[in-house]
A and B are shown apart, each in its own frame.
Chain A
Amino acid sequence: MGAAFLGSLAGRASASVTPLDFSRPPSQPLAALPPEFAPKARRVIYLHMAGAPSQLELFEHKPELTKFDGKDCPASFLAGKRFAFISGVPQLLGAQYPFHQAGQAGAWISDRLPHLEKHIDDLCFVRSMRTDQFNHAPAQLLLQTGHERLGFASFGSWVTYGLGTENQNLPGFIVLTSGGKNPDGGKQLWGPGYLPGVYQGVQCRSLGEPVLYLKNPAGVSRPLRRRMLDSIGAINGLTHAEYANPETVTRTAQYELAFRMQIEATDAMDWPGEPAAVRARYGARPGEASFANNCLVARRLAERGVRFIQLHHWGWDSHGASQNEALNIGFADRCRETDQPIAALLTDLKERGLFDDTLVVWAGEFGRTSMRENRGGQEMQFVGRDHNPGAFTIWMAGGGVKPGMSYGETDPLGYEIVKNPVEVRDLHATLLYLLGLDHRKLTYPFQGLDQKLTSVKPARIVGDLLA
């Protein structure tokens, strides 16, 4: 019986999936490797809306929900469900902003995103994303690493591991945060997990010097720095010869990268040098750690051959417990902070000939409930919604995704998926496919398993999302 079980497992796994070879010379861990098959996208700009924006105030037009606004939530919505804060019988909550149709495809959108609306025919919406995590940190980890627990390699790390990066003078994976706080999942969201440390996302500061201590200290010239690194490299070489720990090589490579970055990263981050018209388009202003500035930097990094650029904007957790968490206050601010910069980024990518092979992803970590949150069973001071892992909406644009697409559907109250559910692993498999990688072959041996971003459950490439 056991043997038969193992046999059936082996039969399932055998479907001629041989991991690809991702080995490189130890001194060039970020060297570009060709994808397995011709890619549609050559780089990724991932816009992580940390805190989970309400799909019901942005993209999900649900007139039925508006009709039943204020009515008690149906019992079937609550049976067997766990919520972060809702208790007792909450009331349904209609959309807080008016919706209208836009673009050739007539997609519905609320009045909060007037700039993004101009690009709506380029967007590919997935309205039926689901997750099994209803708290921020694990849900963000699931989206970013394929697992809800700590210790796994992030999406950006996988892509950098699989494809390397074009520009050896910049990190292959760069992270910028805004919104006043790092996302709840912490730096693990761009962590390398079990992959070599060199594939970790490099977080650049959005205010002040982008990378601390990148400049040589006073009295240290570039030739002196070079001689110092050569000496350190020689010593590290001896250590590596003795212990053969790949992390030693990683360390040496990081020193060398930092040396090259001293020139190139400083230039890449120098967005205030952009023409005034471009800065105005984004709403970028020096002296603040804003999402707008980060979007402009993202375009500059994309142009310079950075493989994976990830922007985290915190503050979408609209429970209604405070002004900043209110759908009619903080949520509106988040929309204002992100709408114009994202639209400018898309415009800029198009004008600079980068849109066709850059994959732009906009996503939170779960959705929000069709019910108004009633923390502790009480009516709250502000209007908000609780977490809904059962359904959320994301969009993608650019490299190889189907423009004007709307995939999946939720029920008339926007609570549960009724058509074409997409698992996080399906999304990952699809994104990797666009980058020219078969998710089954992008593996790294660790703890007796060929680890994958999509993990062990079967993942499907969602063909309907592809152009």
Chain B
Amino acid sequence: MRNGVSARAYFIGVAVVSALLLALAMALRPSFAYAVRDTFGLVQPVPAAPDSFYTTRVAPLFAEHCTGCHGGKRQKGDLRLDELAAVMRGGKHGPVIRAGSAGESELVARIGLPQTDPKAMPPQGKEPLSGDDVAVVRAWIAAGASATRLARDIAGAPPPVRKIEIPVLDTATAARERAAFAAPLADLQARYPGAIAFVSRSSADLEINASRLGASFDDGDLAALEPLRDRIVRLDVSGTRVGDASGPALAAMHRLQVLRALDTGMSAKSLAPLRDRGTKVHDGRF
């Protein structure tokens, strides 16, 4: 070498400088440090228990309101809130959660700011966390920001919002079940147009409304519904000429949940057994 530095010394020098720069970068950018350590398999994951308060209540809030900017795709402020280890590590300015003390946790302070504050999170224009949502996060941190503690161990958390899951539409099962009585159903639908319908697209249960057939519908007609008796869950015979003779036919509809029978010839006595077995009977008598 021209200036007398050996190749070996040069190599060591570059390595030392590189290491220092890497260390500096890791010190300044925790998320970078995390990525580096993650690359070398040095990250000890903090597995949150699947039934823990964190997984069931806190993580969904982060996913709904935060991880668009603080997640896998973007890490604004070097903060990720998509996994517990990253949540606990914090961002550019250090930890955002102080386990056991919600009041000293930066994350709680930010999500509690009014929307107009420039430091508010999520920023203005995005849907803020509700008061209950903030309370959930606070309760979790106050109880130690645990990865495993269950909902019953977290004091002061508001009850969970009831989520509605719409059942998957399973027409195949319904079609199979419907096939068993398709022929008598078609006959009866032709005989009583518009009176017989399936409860839903995913069901083989039937609801029958004979009330618009009026006086033309009588005990004989009710008896004619016999092939469908295992499938009838709702029946309206209001204003028809159905009378006490239909008691046994109604009793045979063992899955009948609701019977509407105003202004019929049926006596309270003949309806009593239906009520006793749990069918809700509306007959206009109080």
Contact = CB atoms under 8 A, between A and B. Distances in A.
A39 B164 contact: no
B164 A352 contact: no
Interface string B143-177: 00000000000000000011110111100000000
Interface string B265-286: 0000000000000001011101
Nearest to A463: B162
A166 to B, nearest CB: 6
Interface stretch (A85-93, A336-344, A362-370, A418-426): A418-426
B201 A34 contact: yes
A341 B174 CA distance: 42
B280 A356 contact: yes
A353 B198 contact: no
Contacts of A304: 212
Contacts of A305: 209, 212
22 contacts: A32-B197, A36-B169, A37-B166, A37-B167, A38-B200, A39-B199, A80-B116, A166-B194, A166-B212, A167-B212, A351-B284, A352-B262, A352-B284, A353-B260, A353-B282, A353-B283, A420-B132, A433-B166, A461-B166, A463-B162, A463-B164, A466-B162
A20 interface: yes
A436 interface: yes
A305 B280 CA distance: 20
Interface string A51-95: 000000000000000000000000000001000000000000000
A117 interface: no
Nearest to A304: B212
B166 A418 contact: no
Interface of A is mostly: loop
- Interface size grouping (class) on chain B: 20 to 34
A32 B194 contact: yes
Given A352-B284, A353-B282, A356-B258, A38 B209 contact: no
A145 B200 CA distance: 25
A464 B260 CA distance: 29
Contacts of A32: 194, 197
Interface in B193-244: 194, 197-203, 205, 209, 211-212, 238
Contacts of B260: 353
A438 interface: yes
Contacts of B167: 37
A427 B161 CA distance: 16
A202 B163 CA distance: 36
B132 A466 contact: no
A49 to B, nearest CB: 27
Contacts of B131: 418-419
B18 interface: no
Nearest to A165: B194
Contact of A34 (B198, B211, B283): B198
A293 interface: no
Contact of A461 (B164, B199, B201): B164
B132 A464 contact: no
A37 B280 contact: no
A438 B167 CA distance: 10
Interface residues of A, number: 32
Contacts of A36: 166, 169, 200-202
A168 interface: yes
A38 B164 CA distance: 14
Interface of B: 116, 130-132, 161-164, 166-169, 194, 197-203, 205, 209, 211-212, 238, 258, 260, 262, 280, 282-284, 286
Given A353-B282, A353-B284, A419-B131, A466 B198 contact: no
A438 B200 contact: no
Given A166-B194, A352-B284, A420-B132, A463 B200 contact: no
Nearest to B195: A166
Contact of B201 (A20, A167, A421, A463): A20
Nearest to B114: A76
A35 interface: yes
B166 A438 contact: yes
A353 B194 contact: no
A419 B202 CA distance: 36
Contact of B202 (A37, A303, A464, A466): A37
B130 A419 contact: yes
A44 to B, nearest CB: 17
B130 A421 contact: yes
Interface in A435-467: 436, 438, 461, 463-464, 466
A436 B197 CA distance: 14
A200 B25 CA distance: 66
A123 to B, nearest CB: 19
A353 B262 contact: yes
**A-B pairs with lowest CB-CB distance, top 3:** A353-B282, A463-B162, A461-B164
Contacts of B262: 352-353
B132 A419 contact: yes
Contacts of A303: 211
Contacts of A168: 194
A224 B262 CA distance: 37
A324 to B, nearest CB: 38
B199 A38 contact: yes
A198 to B, nearest CB: 17
